[in-house]
Chains A and B, each alone.
Chain A
């Protein structure tokens, strides 16, 4: 199993550009999430999904969109990049609560917006 994969690993954008961060998992997990990690702030939840076709907002959703058309994929779209979105982005997947639901993380995408 590859686990959780993310692409790209690094990305530099100019203010106003849009892009999609890719995330895929091959563990048949129901739940998937996107977090951003900023210095001194831990991980903050951006969006999450409890299954294909179902998504919801987390703590810091503004400026980001998600969709989940398949169990495996959960892309994160930056609509119009801003310097405040410079961060490291992690995708995670997990089983449902009854199955333990510890999260498995991808390797992260380091995004810089200039």
Chain B
């Protein structure tokens, strides 16, 4: 069975602070996919990043960076110099490797950036 744990339910930071959102996953698959999605207050779900299990390179996209560590089954998301527009609920998700690749979502972390 697959499981995604986002232990941080809510985080508040002051604008321009850095913040890291934690994601820990469980799977028996050797090949799998990890995702992060953003859900701003308007409610839509926006895809941010996909990572394959065989690619442990960290990734940086502007103020966003992702740290994937298979040894600790973690896929953490860091926002540098946070902005008010980063306020949202962030979901980590895990996709299986076979067949349809059912995606299991974590319960989300609500980030509030205070001006």
Chain A interface residues (CB < 8 Å from chain B):
31, 33, 35, 40-45, 48, 50, 56, 58, 88, 90, 92, 97, 100-105, 107-108
User: Within the complex, which residue of A45, A101, A107 is in contact with B44, where a contact is CB–CB below 8 Å?
Assistant: A107
Judged by DSSP, the binding face of A is: strand
Q: Is B97 an interface residue (CB 8 A)?
A: yes
User: Within the complex, which residue of A48, A103, A108 is in contact with B43, where a contact is CB–CB below 8 Å?
Assistant: A108
Determine whether the beta carbon of A88 is less than 8 Å from that of B105.
no
Determine whether the beta carbon of A43 is less than 8 Å from that of B91.
yes
What is the total number of residues of chain B having a CB less than 8 Å from a CB of chain A? 23
Report the Cα distance A37→B95, complex, angstroms.
Answer: 18
CB distance from B44 to the nearest CB of A (A): 5
With a cutoff of 8 Å between Cβ atoms, the chain A residues found around residue B95 in the complex are: 97, 101
Can you name 19 extra interface pairs (CB under 8 A) apart from A48-B102, A101-B95, A102-B35? A31-B100, A33-B103, A41-B107, A42-B105, A42-B107, A43-B91, A43-B105, A45-B102, A50-B100, A58-B102, A88-B43, A92-B45, A97-B33, A100-B50, A103-B103, A104-B47, A105-B37, A105-B45, A108-B45
